[in-house]
Structure 1
Amino acid sequence: MGTHRRWKDLSRGQQVAVGVVGAVQVSLTAAAYRDLLRRPDDKVNGTKLAWGIALLVNWVGPIAYFLDGRKD
């Protein structure tokens, strides 16, 4: 097994990159939840409950929702 790197072991650039990627993921998920909650039931492919659970899957859930979860 490999050793785990700690936050303090990362370079400043790596710390910034992790922060940016994390912020993008949180923003994407928040935008997807906001859209899901505001969108009428008949404008969602599937159930809102199922999509709400799917949005918890990092990156995959929110991207899938924006690509396939909404009806025009």
Structure 2
Amino acid sequence: MKERAQKKVVALGGAVQFGLLAAALADIYQRPAEQIRGGKLPWTLASFANFVGPLSYFFFGRKRVSPRHQHPGRHRAG
């Protein structure tokens, strides 16, 4: 039973790691380069470091953008 629980924990960790990697890569390539500290290529490479890379990108790699400046082509009605 202990071995089965260990396999589940490893599978869950792998799924979380893959999800973080996919989210980081998607964000890197959808976000304009001006909104990323240090450039897209270094953060792409760093994202492949287990857990640390994607989390570092989300905490340190993205510049904070005010909601007003996120979508310059969109305006609120009213």
Instruction: Answer whether TM exceeds 0.5 for this pair.
Output: yes
Whose Rg is larger?
A: 2
Structure 1: stretches of 5+ with no match in the other structure: 1-9
* Equivalent position SS for 1:57: coil
Tell me what 1:33 maps to.
25
Report the alpha carbon displacement of residue 48 of structure 1 after superposing the two structures with TM.
Answer: 0.3
Partner of 1:25: helix, strand, or coil?
helix
Q: Structure 1 length as normaliser, TM-score?
A: 0.83
> Which residue type is aligned with residue 14 of structure 1?
Q
Which of 14, 35, 58 is matched with 1:22 structurally? Answer: 14
Structure 2: state its 5+ residue gaps: 65-78
The count of residues paired between Structure 1 and Structure 2 equals: 63
Task: Return the alpha-carbon distance in structure 2 between the equivalents of residues 13 and 56 of structure 1.
Answer: 26
Structure 1 runs, 4 residues or longer, greater than 2 Å off:
none
* 1:56 shift after superposition: 1.2
Structure 1 residue 42 corresponds to structure 2 residue 34? yes
Residue 49 (structure 2) pairs with residue 57 (structure 1): yes
Tell me the TM-score normalised to structure 2 length: 0.77
Aligned-CA RMSD value? 1.0
SS at match of 2:48: coil
